[in-house]
Structure 1
Amino acid sequence: MAKTVIVYFSGYGHTRRIAELAAQAAAADLVEISAEGEVSEAGWSQLDAAQAIIFGTPTYMASPPWQFKKFADATSKKWFTRAWQDKVFGGFTNSASLNGDKQVTLISLQTLASQHGGIWVSLGLAPANTKAATRADVNNLGGSVGALVQSPADASSDEIPPGDLETVKLYAARVADVAKRLHG
């Protein structure tokens, strides 16, 4: 069985809830990036042992927050030794706005995975783009690179639209399944 790890930063609790649901769907371990942008030694060991890594981060001002960027910069030690070569990668992001330039964040996550020689998994879900579509529908935000989530700025983490949560769960399970097929 391929091992999946979700490494995430959450500023206000929304991304944490999303990561926890994704972890359940993918039977994944969670590694949290601290408010100081740090990952524990145990967390680094989990990431090194993983066959699939899913990045999770909010989108602040059209990119991941500095805490996630600090983590990304720290992965350069892994890059130098090619420690994460051929791992399977995926990513999700969350912002208060429906768009919020989340695609820019996903592309930065995809680029980080590619720099490590990883294999990025697309969302693989058709968008819910009809007049009848609601926020309860899967992929209502129309993502393709990874999973998109919208949490209104004045909403609690319990008020994240159900379609977005289901989208993340399906995507996390897809990433874990691809890793299982590639790495056994």
Structure 2
Amino acid sequence: MSKIVVVFHSGYGHTRRVAEQVAAGAQAELLAIDAEGNLPEGAWDTLAAADGIIFGTPTYMGGPSWQFKKFADASSKAWFTRAWQDKVFGGFTCSASLIGDKGATMMALQTLGSQHGGLWVSLGLMPSNATASTRNDVNSLGGSVGLMVQCPSDAGADQIPQGDLDTATRYGERVAAIAARLRA
């Protein structure tokens, strides 16, 4: 079995909820980036030992949160030593709008994984884009690069659409399955 780590920042609890769903699907360990952009003690060692790393951040003002960006910048030490070379990477983001410039955040996450010499895992799910589709369907936002979730700005994390949560679980499963296949 592969060791997967979900490293994420959550400003209001929505991204944490999604991280928990992704982690459940991947049977992964959660590492939360705190409000100051720092990781808990030993987290860098945990990331170095992982077979796969899944990044998670809200989309704020068209990109990752500054706390996630601080983590990304701090990962330059791992980049310099190629500590994450050939790991499997994935990523997800949440914003209040259906689109909300999540694509720009996804590109930042994919670029970060690529800079580390990793292998990026796409969402791998067909979009639910027929007339009969609802927000409770899997991949109702039509993502492909990674997981995109809509988190209503006036609602708690418990009101994230079920289709997005189901998509999160499936994405975690996909990342873990690909990491296991590459590890074999």
Measure the CA separation in 2 of the matches of 1:140 and 1:100.
15
Instruction: Name the SS for the 2:144 alignment partner.
Output: coil
Task: Give the drift of 1:90.
Answer: 0.2
Q: State the alpha-carbon separation in 1 of the partners of residues 166 and 156 from structure 2.
A: 17
CA distance in 2, matches of 1:67, 1:173: 26
Listed one character per residue, the Cα deviations across residues 104-154 of structure 1 (whole Å, up to 9, x for unaligned) are 100100000000000000100000001100000000000000001001100
Which residue number corresponds to residue 27 of structure 1?
A: 27
Give distance in 1, aligned partners of 2:2 and 2:113. Answer: 18
Deviations 1:46-102 (A, max 9, x none): 111000000011000110010000000000000000000000000000000000010
Shift of 1:41: 3.1
Q: Percent identity, aligned pairs only? A: 65
Are residue 103 (structure 1) and residue 103 (structure 2) matched? yes
Aligned position for 1:152: 152
Aligned to 2:57: 57
Aligned to 1:92: 92
Superposed CA deviations along residues 25-52 of structure 1, whole A, max 9, x for unmatched, are 1110000001000012321111110000
CA distance in 2, matches of 1:95, 1:152: 8
**What root-mean-square deviation, in Å, do the aligned CA atoms of Structure 1 and Structure 2 show?**
0.6
What are the equivalent positions in structure 2 for 1:66-85 lying under 5 Å apart? 66-85=66-85
Distance 1:151 1:181 in 2: 32
User: How many pairs are equivalent?
Assistant: 184
Match in the other structure for 2:44: 44
**Alignment match, 1:116:** 116
**C-alpha separation in 2, matches of 1:170 and 1:45:** 27
> Partner of 1:177 in structure 2?
177
The residue aligned with 1:164 is 164
C-alpha separation in 1, matches of 2:141 and 2:67: 25
2:7 and 2:85 map into 1 onto residues whose CA distance is 17
Cα deviation for residue 183 of structure 1 reads 1.1
What residue ranges of structure 1 are gaps of 5+ in the alignment? none
Runs of 4+ aligned residues of structure 1 deviating over 6 Å after TM superposition are none
Distance in 2 of aligned mates of 1:106 and 1:31 = 19
